[in-house]
Amino acid sequence: MRTNSRHRIVAAVAVTCALTLGATACGSPDPGADSAAKDVAAALEAGGKVTVWAWEPTLKKVAADFEKKYPKVDIELVNAGTNNKQYTALQNAIAAGSGAPDVAQVEYYAVGQFAIGKSLEELSPYGASGHDQAFTTGPWSGVKYGKGIYALPMDSGPMALFYNKKVFDRHGIAVPTTWDEYVEAARALHKADPKLYITNDTGDAGATTSLIWQAGGRPYKVEGTEIGIDFGDTGTAQYTGTWQKLVDERLLAPVTSWSDEWYKGLSDGSIATLSIGAWMPANFVTGAPAASGDWRVAPLPQWTKGAKAGAENGGSSLAVPKASKNKALAYAFVEYATTGAGATARVSEGTFPATRADLESQAFLDTPFPYFGGQQANRILADAARDVGAGWSYLPYQVYANSVFNDTVGKAYVSSTTLAQGLEAWRATSAKYGTDQGFTVAP
Amino acid sequence: MITDPTGVSSDTRERTADSCGADSSGAATGPQRPPATAPPRAAPQRRRRRAHTPLDPRPSIPLTLVTGLVLVYTLLPLVWLVVNATKDQEDLLDSFGLWFGKDFQLWDNISRTLTYDDGAFVRWTLNTLLYVAAGAGGATLLAVLGGYALAVYEFPGRRAVFAVVIGAVAVPGTALAVPTFLMFSGMGLANTPWAVIIPSLVSPFGLYLMWVFTAQAVPSELLEAARIDGAGELRIFFRIALPLLMPGTVTVLLFSMVATWNNYFLPLIMIKDPDWYPLTLGLNAWSAQARTAGGEPVFDLIITGSLLTIAPIVVVFLLLQRYWQSGLAAGSVKE
């Protein structure tokens, strides 16, 4: 019932957007760039309270640092739930007209949905457009919607292959560099010990879209309210062709990511690799401490031998909701937390940076990871950040689309439906929803 | 087992004490009595124990089996919870779920649960106690006052109130949650403890129960007699009616306490600030930590926290159940 009312709100807003789009870029008022930037300085001078809804743990340190630097400002950090829970709460607060925070953590895939819902403040007038060279490609394209900038990148998740060296060594299997080798390794591992799986997968929208991204597929085209969804390109076909083998031969552990079983699998080596975002090391340390020393990081396997293609997986940004009462001050905090000293402080707490400066810093690259047997893992991860393929965009209602992933593509994991058929069903469901919301969806 | 004298339970001995009270002393002073008489005496004892009366019916094997299954089904999760609260995170993932792990970590787990995250668990416990005391306590008070008034006093519109109350019982709280959220948000009360306490104060079911219970348990003759003796209405309520209403009051209190203690959905949509979370939301927030980049999985603390969360409600149930049981039987026999 709540979902329904939420959808109706999005629908109403989307239609309004569609109607007004001709006149103005949806949701980007232009009060004069200079005055807004001056407002930010004045707001810092005047002080006040900024409520931040975020689940990212490193923000605690940033908030403390910021309050020390600007004693008149009071940062109230609230963990209002993780991912979807926080988005629902944010939608509710915005719909109710009160209780919305001044700053909200929004993942890249969800920025579009909030931007087109006119829920987020366009940040260029405050000075956000000046940071276009500060961030890496993937995250920067993640915070832009149309011509507007709706958030600043907080972290990034360029994909790499995390593998259990102990398991690979014990069975004498080479670390795969291409996805074909990956399938071979999966067969060899499972044959050597039926309890071993190359990885776990029960259908995960984020992982699937990221691998299609890496394979060169660009299923989503977004131009204003005109949307194209097409899973028929060669990149997607390459992904489904390879992954279907893993599904058919039952080489994937039927374990849902982030569950206790998953952490168990990472601990005891029965899940031997993860192709996942660069933010994963921190989770290894806290979630699978028993496997310390077993794991290593390698570049993500390639779809064509010798290529250097990458993709982003996850990652989130900080945005200023339109309902914020002190947007200039809120922006000041967002800017501090995502660039300069704030970003560096968060990197030292274990976040994977989205800022070029931090990615290139020698201290960052040289950091040894005791968990990975002393490996300087950031060198591989920083390369991965540079190799992220350009031109990817998510749907402006990706939050909804991901929520129906398991009803469509998820079937491929438990029935005779193929991944390709599942993706086609996902396309149809997403397209129908888009049309209902007032978008023009090209087949 | 039956022939083993230690297998005879103490109450059996008590029950048989008057008929063969000299038995044990007789055995001690043995020589005077022929030992041969002892075994036949034991036999009637056993037969007597098998005599079935309406209060002590013949055990039915299928029924015992079904009850046993239900018992296992009910207690198994609880056993699992207790067992796993004694393990550290590593053991939790590696060892068999229904038996203890390598180390007994319960005390360590409890102290870590209470101190983790700057003592958030203690804060959430206090919040929950506040919501229960103010919400469930207030709901019971209102239900008793309202139920008594509706049962005792005649006034115009009583039937309309009855219809509204019965209608309200039929509306699930979940359906009202979103409108309530919008209303409280409009009043600026969302994200404050009031948003959880005020909706908890209204318990149509409790009111209905107290209404029916008052009609049964408080004879109008008693009230009339008190009035003739010159007692005021308040005095009558507190000195005469309230003691009579005790079983019903405790029932309503128990119901609303359990409901408020376990309430998840209302605080979920009302409260965003972890400082005001009740235990249900807090534990869920800890659980969600495992599902995010940079978050720390604390499965051991969640399980220990769950055990600590259900413990008070179990204690309350055990302490209040005798009032509750007498309440169930009220009005069943015409005295």
Chain B residues whose beta carbon lies within 8 Å of the beta carbon of residue A267: 90, 93-94
Q: What is the pLDDT of residue B227?
A: 92
Name the token pair of A260. Answer: 């206790």
CB pairs under 8 A between A and B: 97
> What is the band of B35 on the pLDDT scale with cuts at 50, 70, 90?
very low
* pLDDT for B246 beyond 70: yes
ipTM metric: 0.79
Report pLDDT digits (tens) over B143-197.
999 999 999 998 999 889 889 988 988 888 778 888 898 899 889 898 899 999 9
The DSSP-derived string for A404-439 is THHHHGGGGGTSS--HHHHHHHHHHHHHHHHHHTT-
Q: What is the pLDDT of residue B333?
A: 53
Q: How far apart are CA A1 and CA B286, in angstroms?
A: 26
For residue A338, give the nearest of A56, A29, A35, A24 by alpha carbon.
A56
pLDDT score at B6:
43
Check residue A146 and give its pLDDT: 83
Picking from A79, A90, A156, A255 by the largest number of B CB atoms within 10 A of its own CB, the best residue to mutate is A79
pLDDT by residue for chain A (443 residues), tens only, comes to 333 444 444 443 343 333 333 333 333 444 444 567 788 889 998 999 999 999 988 999 999 999 999 999 999 999 888 888 899 889 888 888 888 999 999 999 999 999 988 899 999 999 999 998 999 988 998 999 888 999 999 999 999 999 999 999 999 999 999 999 999 999 999 999 999 999 999 999 999 999 999 999 999 998 888 999 999 999 999 999 999 999 999 999 999 999 989 999 999 999 999 999 999 999 999 899 999 999 999 999 999 999 999 999 999 999 999 999 999 999 999 999 999 899 999 998 889 999 999 999 999 999 999 999 999 999 999 999 999 998 898 999 999 999 999 999 999 999 999 999 999 999 999 999 999 999 999 86
Question: Which of A89, A96, A314 is closest, CB to CB, to B293?
Answer: A314
User: Looking at residue B272, what is its pLDDT?
Assistant: 86
pLDDT of residue B2: 41
From the list B92, B178, B294, the residue facing A282 with the nearest CB is: B294
% of chain B with per-residue pLDDT over 90: 43
- Which residues, including other chains, have CB under 8 Å from residue B162's CB and lie 6 or more apart? B150
From A83, A157, A287, residue closest to B290, measured CB to CB: A287
Contact A287 B292 (CB under 8 A): no
Q: How many residues are present in chain B?
A: 335
CB atoms within 10 A of CB A42: 13
- CA A186 to CA A203: how far, in whole Å? 18
Q: CA–CA separation, A110 vs A102, rounded Å?
A: 17
Backbone dihedral angles phi then psi of residue A135, each to the nearest 5 degrees: -110, 160
8 A C-beta contact, residue B301 and residue B116 = yes
- Residue B242 neighbours by CB under 8 Å, 6+ apart: B144, B249
Alpha-carbon A365 to chain mean position: 22
Task: Name the β-bridge partners of A223.
Answer: A226
Instruction: Report pLDDT digits (tens) over B278-334.
Output: 999 999 999 988 888 878 889 999 999 999 999 999 998 888 877 766 655 555 555
pLDDT digits (tens, 9 = 90+) for B168-178: 888 887 788 88
**Could you count the other beta carbons within 10 Å of the beta carbon of residue B208?**
20
* pLDDT given at position B13: 42
Q: What count of Cα atoms within 13 Å lies in the side-chain half-sphere of residue B218? A: 32
Classified as helix, coil or strand, A343 is: helix
Separation of first and last alpha carbons in chain B: 45
Q: What tokens were used for A367?
A: 């950091």
Token pair recorded at residue B50: 């098998």
Best of A55, A108, A262 to substitute, by most chain B Cβ atoms within 10 angstroms, is: A55
Strands A144-145 and A148-149: antiparallel
Name the residue of chain B whose CA is nearest to A347's CA.
Answer: B294
C-alpha distances out from residue B140 to A123, A399, B207, B316, Å: 52, 43, 8, 15
The candidate with the shortest Cα–Cα distance to B304, out of B3, B159, B87, is B87
Residues B207, B147 contacting (CB under 8 angstroms): yes
Asked if the Cβ–Cβ distance from B295 to A57 is below 8 Å, we say: yes
Q: Any idea what DSSP says for residue A293?
A: T
- A100, A90 in Cβ contact below 8 A? yes
pTM: 0.80
pLDDT band per the 50, 70, 90 thresholds, residue B19: very low
Question: Which residue reads 């989307």 in tokens?
Answer: A14
Higher-confidence residue of A27 and B127: namely B127
Is B181 in Cβ contact with A1 (below 8 Å)? no
pLDDT of residue B329: 53
